[in-house]
């Protein structure tokens, strides 16, 4: 999660890609896509499954994503239950008990093969034990994530421990693991730091039982030609680690403070000014996904968007919502006249 200044609350052209992709929105029950009709098109069916040779992206709130590639599903930081901790009400309670809503989770996850976890704070990992045990999906994360999941009863053989630098081939879906960093508050301190070198002696029961455990980012590439999506779970990064990734899409965490020097320009430059930038982790993640996203009033989403426009004017910024599936057709370079607008 992001940090606040007191160590508790977070302060919190479609451009046609010359290489290979077209990004479009398919609204669930909404008539207006987020993209300009002159450059993209909205699909006319609600939450339609992606066609062969395509990929789709659905924001699960916070930093979470569901990525579908030719009927196969990858999840990143899926936090769906979204229970209250007092974080957004001025009464943050570290002893809040962990909760999991299996029926609600199943509505959103499909049948995942792989679950990528950036770090082990509750708003990133709390639903992962249930997803892993109920679907058999492989979980990729840090050593701390491994030990926590084992404590939750996940089969150790189902978990892949990574550190950053690994390039994993999941039969046509490539996952590059990127060493990364968690955000810091204005005192340059981490929220709930700590790592585990062995499973805890008891099953975690509260949010305070889940330390950060180091932070990763991931780049997921569908097929041999893309599209590629860079996924962040916290608003800091290792400039050397991300340099040269050159993703088509960058799902970028909105910074919780100004503690990181020139966060936006350094990140966009290192990533090669992605064609599409999607801000994440700016929403109130204690409100249900059935409601429209609500901003954390302490997060400067508008300021972030303005910085992206200033620093990378060729990048298109798409502010996501929970009810839209965004498609990236790997076989089309631009919408055709026969496609709906």
Token digits for 302? 């508008």
Residue 249: CB atoms within 10 Å: 28
Residue 201 to residue 11: CA distance in whole angstroms: 33
Which residues contact residue 89 at a Cβ distance below 8 angstroms, ignoring those fewer than 6 apart? none
E-assigned strands of the chain? 23-27, 54-59, 65-69, 72-76, 112-116, 138-141, 159-161, 167-170, 173-181, 215-222, 228-231, 236-237, 249-253, 276-280, 316-317, 324-329
Q: In a 3-state reduction of DSSP, which class is residue 325?
A: strand
The predicted pLDDT at position 24 comes to: 44
Helices and strands per DSSP (H, E), number in the chain: 7, 16
The predicted pLDDT at position 226 comes to: 74
The CATH T-level fold of domain 23-329 is Metallo-beta-lactamase; Chain A (3.60.15)
The whole-model pTM stands at 0.83
What does pLDDT average to over the chain? 81
**Percent of the chain as helix, strand, coil, to the nearest 5:** 15, 25, 60
Low-confidence ranges of the chain (pLDDT < 50): 4-53, 329-341
The predicted pLDDT at position 28 comes to: 38
Residue 107: CB atoms within 10 Å: 12
Residue 46 to residue 30: CA distance in whole angstroms: 9
The answer to whether 55 touches 67, Cβ cutoff 8 Å, is yes
The predicted pLDDT at position 195 comes to: 80
Cα torsion at 221, 227, 232, 236 (round to 10°)? 110
Residue 178: CB atoms within 10 Å: 23
The answer to whether 300 touches 254, Cβ cutoff 8 Å, is yes
CA distances from 245 to 81, 116, 189 (A): 32, 18, 28
The predicted pLDDT at position 339 comes to: 29
Alpha helices in the chain (DSSP H): 102-109, 122-125, 128-135, 143-151, 239-242, 263-271, 301-311
Domain ranges within the chain, ordered by starting residue: 23-329
Cα torsion at 133, 222, 141, 124 (round to 10°)? -70
What are the two backbone dihedrals, phi and then psi, of residue 69, each rounded to the nearest 5 degrees? -125, 110
Residue 295 to residue 35: CA distance in whole angstroms: 20
The predicted pLDDT at position 151 comes to: 97
Residue 260 to residue 237: CA distance in whole angstroms: 9
């Amino acid at each position: 999660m992001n940090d606040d200044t007191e160590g508790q609350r977070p302060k919190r052209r479609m451009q046609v890609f010359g290489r290979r992709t077209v990004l479009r929105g398919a609204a669930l029950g909404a008539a207006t896509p987020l993209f300009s009709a002159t450059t993209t098109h909205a699909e006319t069916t609600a939450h339609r499954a992606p066609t062969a040779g395509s990929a789709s992206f659905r924001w699960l709130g916070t930093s979470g994503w569901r990525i579908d590639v030719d009927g196969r599903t990858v999840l990143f930081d899926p936090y769906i239950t979204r229970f209250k901790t007092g974080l957004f009400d001025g009464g943050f309670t570290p002893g809040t008990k962990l909760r999991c809503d299996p029926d609600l989770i199943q509505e959103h996850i499909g049948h995942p093969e792989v679950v990528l976890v950036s770090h082990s704070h509750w708003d990133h990992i709390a639903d992962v034990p249930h997803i892993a045990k109920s679907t058999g999906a492989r979980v990729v994360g840090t050593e701390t994530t491994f030990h926590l999941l084992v404590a939750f009863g996940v089969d150790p053989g189902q978990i892949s421990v990574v550190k950053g630098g690994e390039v994993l081939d999941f039969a046509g879906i490539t996952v590059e693991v990127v060493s990364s960093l968690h955000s810091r508050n204005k005192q340059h301190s981490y929220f709930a730091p700590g790592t585990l070198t062995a499973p805890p002696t008891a099953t975690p029961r509260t949010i305070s039982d889940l330390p950060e455990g180091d932070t990763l980012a991931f780049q997921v590439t569908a097929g041999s030609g893309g599209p590629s999506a860079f996924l962040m779970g916290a608003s800091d990064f290792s400039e050397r680690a991300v340099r040269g990734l050159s993703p088509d899409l960058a799902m970028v965490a909105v910074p919780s403070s100004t503690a990181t020097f020139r966060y936006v320009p350094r990140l966009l430059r290192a990533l090669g000014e992605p064609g599409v930038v999607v801000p994440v982790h700016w929403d109130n993640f204690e409100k249900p996904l059935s409601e429209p996203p609500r901003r954390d009033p302490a997060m400067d989403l508008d300021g972030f968007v303005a910085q992206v426009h200033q620093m990378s004017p060729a990048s298109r910024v798409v502010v996501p919502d929970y009810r839209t599936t965004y498609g990236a057709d790997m076989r089309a370079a631009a919408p055709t006249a026969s496609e709906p607008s």
